Structure 1
Amino acid sequence: MLPDARLDQLLARHAEIEHALTAGPDADAYVRLSREFSDLSPLIERIKALRAAERELDEARTLATDPSTDREMAALAEEEAASLEGQVETLAHEVRLALLPKDAMDERGVILEVRAGTGGDEAALFAGDLFRMYERFAALNGWSVEVLSLSEGTAGGYKEIAAAIHGRGAYAKLKFESGVHRVQRVPETEGSGRIHTSAATVAVLPEVEEVDIAIDEGDLRIDVFRASGAGGQHVNKTESAVRITHLPSGVVVAVQDERSQHKNKARAMSLLRARLYDAEREKRDTARAADRRLQVGSGDRSERIRTYNFPQGRVTDHRIGLTLHKLPEILSGEALGELVDALTTEHQAALLAEAEDTGWGQP
């Protein structure tokens, strides 16, 4: 049941902001009010559409049941009422979703980290498959990918790789990818055709700005060193690689991909901010989970969330019990959206149930 009093308050607030904007506020107030007005407007449009459809439904029902209405007109009114009932339910669902609390980071880009787990070379190869899957998914969504650091596997793939995915709404779509991904397949080096199981861990962190988390420069130890690995002679001759240790937490990040020490430091700070912010969120979520747990959104890095079975060509997401026989399409990024949408829908359903249980909280 939608909270009518809450909807009335939102409509009143929208009208109040509109009036304030026409009154010519100062520049700062204008920016603040314009942002609030813009954020509220899509919800207000849905509420107004819902109220209009509800009025039309009441009128159609009244006409259909009025004894003075002739039979043909009553039949038409009943048909219209049936159609309007579906329209009202659809609009009411849209309003419910719009009323759900928003994750402040949903519109941000992400820091994506993929690490090979158990399985040796095969795990590193699988980590490479996963990273390419996310790269392709990013491209399909019009996002850009910037590799921050990587360590290649001895037979290909990655022991670990971290990248920034820049694009509005990337975090909203990718935040449920955190956890352990398992693969079952026959390695190319396996002569007997025996299926091996290996795993990789994915972490998806929101891109964090300096204003989101305060880092005291005195809490940092910054070391520079010569980069190793690919990159030509230059990369081994200059101390361009940067390692930053956050002393209070013990979090360490290292970036060596750029020739510029300044760029590597900037990238390392971006990675550090994301990890520290994520640690704070995890503490908060753990405390909240003591009361109630929204499983899809738990973000537990140790949780086995998905299995990619090559012999059967299927991918199973264990959190929502969904199996898709589209393994190649998912790894190509093309069908990953189906899993993303299913996880988002499940999360929204859990939030809706929670909102109903708590009476939708306070406006």
Structure 2
Amino acid sequence: MLEERPGFIVFRATGVEAARVFQHEPGGHRWQRVPPNEKRGRVHTSTVTVAVLQEPEDSALVIPPSELEWRTSRGSGPGGQHRNKTESAVVLTHLSSGLTVRCESERSQHRNRDTALRVLRARLLQARQEGSARAANAERRSQVGSGQRGDKVRTVRCQDGLVTDHRLGRKLPLDAYLRGDWTALLGA
């Protein structure tokens, strides 16, 4: 369990069969039951939305040297003759993204090159993380849907003791479903 708060649960499933077991879970699940204190036998319906996301791989940000363009120039600002006569400022351009970093904070060109490369890596990593976060949010939204009745993928009917998977067109006994024995739904 990674996170749990009222109405929201995040957990991690690992193992060889995890992807196969959870492949049909994304979407809306309708839960129908007759509560024990219901005197007239009315069915209460709840909806649960489920999203299944792949965990991203950890990889270091490696920038091939062929994607970098280095230029040097004279620094600007205070510093006297040394600053105005030596090319210590560095302009680094990442060719594939067009991102440019200018660094002239140090008197040494070598230190400015190191700083510019660190800043460029940080900006590229931030852009990559923002892009992957947008993609993950879009994938989650597409899986969850609106949570309305028409979005349901599974109906759990406690009073009948049946679970119906609407995408697969299969039924399963409720007690097997609650035990986690989904082999009938998965066709195994």
Q: TM-score, normalised by structure 2?
A: 0.53
Task: State the match for 2:176 in structure 1.
Answer: 329
Query: Any residues of structure 2 matched to 1:132-171 within 5 Å, and which?
Result: 147-152=1-6, 159-171=7-19
Q: Contact (CA 8 Å) 2:33, 2:158: kept in 1 or not?
A: yes
**Superposition deviation, residue 216 in structure 1:** 5.0
Q: Contact (CA 8 Å) 2:33, 2:43: kept in 1 or not?
A: yes
Task: State the match for 2:86 in structure 1.
Answer: none
**Superposition deviation, residue 211 in structure 1:** 3.3
Task: State the match for 1:309 in structure 2.
Answer: 157
Per the alignment, do residues 217 and 190 of structure 1 end up closer, same or farther by CA in structure 2, a change over 3 Å counting?
farther
Separation (CA, whole Å) in 2 of partners of 1:187 and 1:341: 32
The alignment partner of 1:173 has SS state of helix
Task: State the match for 2:53 in structure 1.
Answer: 205
Larger-gyration structure (1/2): 2
The alignment partner of 1:207 has SS state of coil
Per the alignment, do residues 211 and 175 of structure 1 end up closer, same or farther by CA in structure 2, a change over 3 Å counting?
farther
Task: State the match for 1:181 in structure 2.
Answer: 29
Letter in structure 2 aligned against 1:151: R
Question: How many pairs are equivalent?
Answer: 122
Separation (CA, whole Å) in 1 of partners of 2:22 and 2:48: 16
Letter in structure 1 aligned against 2:35: P
Task: State the match for 2:184 in structure 1.
Answer: 338
The alignment partner of 1:206 has SS state of coil
Query: Any residues of structure 2 matched to 1:245-256 within 5 Å, and which?
Result: 248=130
Pick from 44, 47, 69: which aligns with 1:196?
A: 44
Per the alignment, do residues 276 and 163 of structure 1 end up closer, same or farther by CA in structure 2, a change over 3 Å counting?
farther
**Superposition deviation, residue 279 in structure 1:** 5.0
Separation (CA, whole Å) in 2 of partners of 1:212 and 1:196: 50
Letter in structure 2 aligned against 1:331: L
Q: TM-score, normalised by structure 1?
A: 0.29
Q: Identity across aligned pairs (percent)?
A: 34
**Superposition deviation, residue 174 in structure 1:** 1.0
**Superposition deviation, residue 301 in structure 1:** 2.4
Separation (CA, whole Å) in 2 of partners of 1:179 and 1:321: 15
Query: Any residues of structure 2 matched to 1:85-96 within 5 Å, and which?
Result: none
Separation (CA, whole Å) in 1 of partners of 2:17 and 2:61: 20
Q: Contact (CA 8 Å) 1:178, 1:300: kept in 2 or not?
A: yes
**Superposition deviation, residue 276 in structure 1:** 5.2
Q: Contact (CA 8 Å) 1:213, 1:277: kept in 2 or not?
A: no
Q: Which has the larger share of strand?
A: 2
The alignment partner of 1:177 has SS state of coil
Gaps of 5+ in 2: 63-122, 146-150
Per the alignment, do residues 168 and 212 of structure 1 end up closer, same or farther by CA in structure 2, a change over 3 Å counting?
farther
User: What RMSD over aligned residues (CA atoms) do the two structures have, in Å?
Assistant: 3.4
Gaps of 5+ in 1: 1-146, 153-158, 221-245, 250-272, 283-298, 343-363
Higher relative contact order (CA 8 A, sep 6+): 2
Query: Any residues of structure 2 matched to 1:80-119 within 5 Å, and which?
Result: none
The alignment partner of 1:308 has SS state of strand
Separation (CA, whole Å) in 2 of partners of 1:194 and 1:205: 36
Letter in structure 2 aligned against 1:339: L
Letter in structure 1 aligned against 2:8: E
The alignment partner of 1:164 has SS state of coil
